[in-house]
Amino acid sequence: MTTARDPTIPPPRRLKPWNAVERGLAKVGISGRMLVLAAPVLWLLVFFLIPLAVVFGISLSTKQFGRPPYSPLLTTEEGTVQLTLHLNNYIRLFTDNLYIAAYLSSIRIAFISTVITLFVGYPMAYAIARAPDRWRNILLMLVILPFFTSFLLRVYALTGFMRGNGVINQFLGLFGLEPLVMMQTDFAVYVGIVYTYLPFMILPLYTTLVKLDVSLFEASADLGARPLRTFLSVTLPLSLPGIIAGSMLVFIPAIGEYVIPSLLGGPETLMIGRVLWDEFFTAANWPRAAAVAVAMLLAVVIPIMLLQRAQSAVVER
């Protein structure tokens, strides 16, 4: 073994180009941090935050013919800038029964579907969390797999399943039963939402359930609680963050759902996402569509806040 390098010779110093660049930028007041932040911040400002502001702005405009098909908010008349705001879109939202009905029915459909998804998803998540280790990953993969196949195609698959001469009714026919009318009903919409959003419910539930220490159940049983009691007083409260996170992950997108009601629902299945779509594409009333979007945003703000709190709780455990 040789001894340490002669300490009287100073260590070799090479000017590294990266250092020079960094120092140069620092002189202008730009740190490495700012460089990292700049791109995502700018992008999200331009393509996320400003668009929401634009929606709000245009919701205060009114439809007119031309390009673009809405009246400008700012006009210059004889050298002065004039700001014209229209509230008529919002007034219509509150007075026209169509909008109120669509709004309420969206919330109702999203709520009912979320509850059903919870009841279907909870046992599945629990079963996966309690499954033997080598099964767990395979089952989890089976839950995630549909998520990676096309959403649209899965909804389409359901239509083949539920239509008048679809798989279910053919199956019922084998037993001499009457065919059921499922397509173009609210029931089909519930099934569609449960079917497509089930993975969103299962994953956060699984994450909280799998972290629960088995000794908790053993302790509960040891103290004399029967399985159902243990479930109600230990498992359920401890998995609450997962329940909230999963429910919000289903509820929020379900509120704004367009594809499912338009493929599975009937003409009377009113949902706010569908109303917005029709307002924009069929009626070409951009300002009113924007007002509907603002109203929809209000419906999801509270669930989003709930979700964020629940998510941080899920992560912390």
Contact between 302 and another protein per CB under 8 A? no
Q: Which is nearer to another protein, 162 or 186 (CB)?
A: 162
Please choose, out of 50-58, 87-95, 203-211, 232-240, the segment that lies near another protein by the rule CB under 8 A.
50-58
- Interface with another protein (CB under 8 A), residue total 103
Contact between 49 and another protein per CB under 8 A? yes
Please choose, out of 78-86, 88-96, 142-150, 178-186, the segment that lies near another protein by the rule CB under 8 A.
142-150
3-state helix, strand, coil in the chain (%, to 5): 70, 5, 25
Q: Output the CA torsion sign for 301, 304, 310, 315.
A: negative
Alpha helices in 181-285, H assignment, sequence order: 186-211, 214-222, 227-230, 236-238, 240-255, 259-264, 272-277
**Residue 244 to residues 79, 115, 212, 257, 305: CA-CA distances in angstroms?**
55, 11, 17, 20, 11
Contact between 23 and another protein per CB under 8 A? no
Contact between 153 and another protein per CB under 8 A? yes
**DSSP letter (8 states) at residue 77:** E
Q: How far apart are CA 77 and CA 192, in angstroms?
A: 53
Structure tokens, 128: 């996966």
Q: How far apart are CA 232 and CA 124, in angstroms?
A: 17
Q: Which 237-276 positions form the footprint of another protein (CB under 8 A)?
A: 248-249, 252-253, 255-259, 262-263, 273, 276
C-alpha closest to that of 209 among 89, 294, 305, 314: 314
Tell me the closest approach of the beta carbon of residue 304 to another protein, in angstroms.
6
Tell me the closest approach of the beta carbon of residue 194 to another protein, in angstroms.
8
Tell me the closest approach of the beta carbon of residue 133 to another protein, in angstroms.
11
Contact between 9 and another protein per CB under 8 A? no
Q: Which 206-225 positions form the footprint of another protein (CB under 8 A)?
A: 214, 217-218
Q: Which is nearer to another protein, 50 or 91 (CB)?
A: 50
Contact between 27 and another protein per CB under 8 A? no
Contact between 195 and another protein per CB under 8 A? yes
Q: Single out the residue of 111, 154, 181, 225 in contact with another protein (rule: CB under 8 A).
A: 154
Contact between 102 and another protein per CB under 8 A? no
Tell me the closest approach of the beta carbon of residue 44 to another protein, in angstroms.
4
Q: Which residues contact 130 (CB under 8 A, 6 or more apart)?
A: 209
Q: How far apart are CA 302 and CA 236, in angstroms?
A: 23
Q: Single out the residue of 60, 102, 143, 183 in contact with another protein (rule: CB under 8 A).
A: 143
Residue 225: φ, ψ to 5° = -90, 135
